[in-house]
Amino acid sequence: MIHVRVLAFASAVDSLGCRERAMELPPGARVADALANLSLERPQLAARIPALATSVNGQIVAADRLLNDGDEMALLPQFSGG
């Protein structure tokens, strides 16, 4: 198993139910797998996933990004600046 630290920011905290949590996933898991598992546990998150960016270790990544033991995955809602 691999261990991933999941962080949520801004409105994603409400959907995830916390700012930070640990996840255990099978080897070979990808970001999409982590998001699917989170969505099963927190159905309100599923509807928000299309509007979230996901980063791994500080870099924005696609859903097919492979996760490794010790990775930090962040859920980032869209935002605008001015």
Q: What's the pLDDT tens digit per position in 48-72?
A: 888 899 999 999 999 999 999 999 9
- What domains, with CATH codes, occur in the chain? 2-77 (3.10.20.30)
DSSP letter string over 57-74? TTEEE-TTPBP-TT-EEE
Give the pLDDT mean for 70-78: 94
- Output the six-digit token pair for 31: 């970001």
Mode of pairing for the β-strands spanning 59-61 and 72-77: unpaired
- 3-class DSSP assignment, residue 26: coil
Residues 8-52 have pLDDT tens digits of: 998 889 888 899 999 999 999 999 999 999 999 998 888 888 889
Give yes or no for a contact between 75 and 5, defined as CB atoms under 8 angstroms apart.
Answer: no
Q: Considering the entire predicted model, what is its pTM?
A: 0.90
